[in-house]
Amino acid sequence: MSFAKGSGEGELSWEKFLLTIIATLGAYFIGLIVATFGMGIVMDGNPQRWTSLEFAMNLLPFTMALAGLLASVHFILKRPVLSVLTSRKQFDWKRFFFAAGLWLLMQVVFLMMARMSGAPIVFEFSASKIIPLLIVSLTLLPIQTAAEDVFFRGFLFQSFTKFTGKAGASLIAVAVIFGLIHSGNPEVKVLGNVALVYYIVTGLFLGLLAHFDDGLELGMGYHFANNFFGAVILTNTWQVYQTDAFFTDYAEPNFGWGMVLSLLVLQPAMLFVFYRIFRWKNPLKRILE
């Protein structure tokens, strides 16, 4: 059975669908309350940068949301948890690490190219700050990205496909929702609504990965590497993650060539690479399913 159709066990009703969303969002807001309380304790006035503990507090709600979602899949939808992760008999970690390594390597290469071209990117290494940041990023960031991937490209994608019978239309709907849910991010306030285009197209890219590969492994690897790079390798003064990363970009905020290159060249190129390596069957035809 394809990933888009999910598990064949049990019928999906609107009541179960809405109850799962309520349970997931409820768990997220409980985490948000705990995180807000924790932030009040660790904040030291008006910090210029997040500390690693503050960073962890901002990731905590996603941990709660993922727990709530997976519990809902098991207890409300009466489905195997694995069914919202992959159509394979077990989660394919090789796919995850391959996609994560490939995208992280590409980002590092373009970072080095940007520095060589004279971009105002400053190396600001501090061992006392980077070590706790690495610990937080390697433990909580995978959970944060997994929460989004499982909710959007797993639960919502499969649910919309079951309700409509159209995987292609479901991909577009989920990508738009994924973009709009990020409308409150600082990037959107700084760059304008054009930043939503980046989120929507990236959401569509991740959805295509899930649909073509019949699982979340590749998309989860890409998503984690993308957020890990933005948290640990290169930060700036206006993005959603402002951390004690290895490098800081002091350029003026703009929807630059890097984002355009990512959307128009790199993401399509990765789709082609994955298509050849994993030998997807009729990917273009499957869009119309």
Cα dihedral 191, 196, 202, 203 sign: positive
Position of tokens 């190396």?
A: 123
Q: Please give the helix or strand (H or E) that residue 13 lies within, else none.
A: none
Position of tokens 């394919």?
A: 92
Q: Which segments in the chain show pLDDT lower than 50?
A: 48
Q: How high is the pLDDT of residue 1? A: 62
pTM of the model: 0.94
Q: How high is the pLDDT of residue 45? A: 52
Q: How high is the pLDDT of residue 131? A: 93
Contacting residues for 90 by C-beta, under 8 A, at least 6 apart: 82
What's the longest Cα–Cα distance across the chain?
58
Interhelix angle 157-164/167-181, nearest 10 degrees: 140
Cα dihedral 5, 11, 15, 19 sign: negative
CA atoms of 194 and 126, how far apart (whole Å)? 34
Compute CA distances 216 → 9, 117, 134, 154, whole Å. Answer: 20, 36, 24, 7
> What's the number of domains the chain is made of?
1
Q: How high is the pLDDT of residue 135? A: 95
Pair 72, 65: CB distance under 8 Å = no
Give the range of the structural domain holding residue 212, as residue numbers without chain letter. Answer: 3-287
**DSSP 8-class letter at 81:** G
**pLDDT, tens digit, 9 for 90 and up, residues 157-188:** 999 999 998 999 999 999 999 999 998 888 88
Report CA Rg, the chain.
19
Name the residue among 155, 143, 137 with its Cα closest to residue 24: 155
CA atoms of 111 and 100, how far apart (whole Å)? 16
Q: How high is the pLDDT of residue 49? A: 52
Q: How high is the pLDDT of residue 255? A: 74
Q: How high is the pLDDT of residue 194? A: 86
Q: How high is the pLDDT of residue 217? A: 98
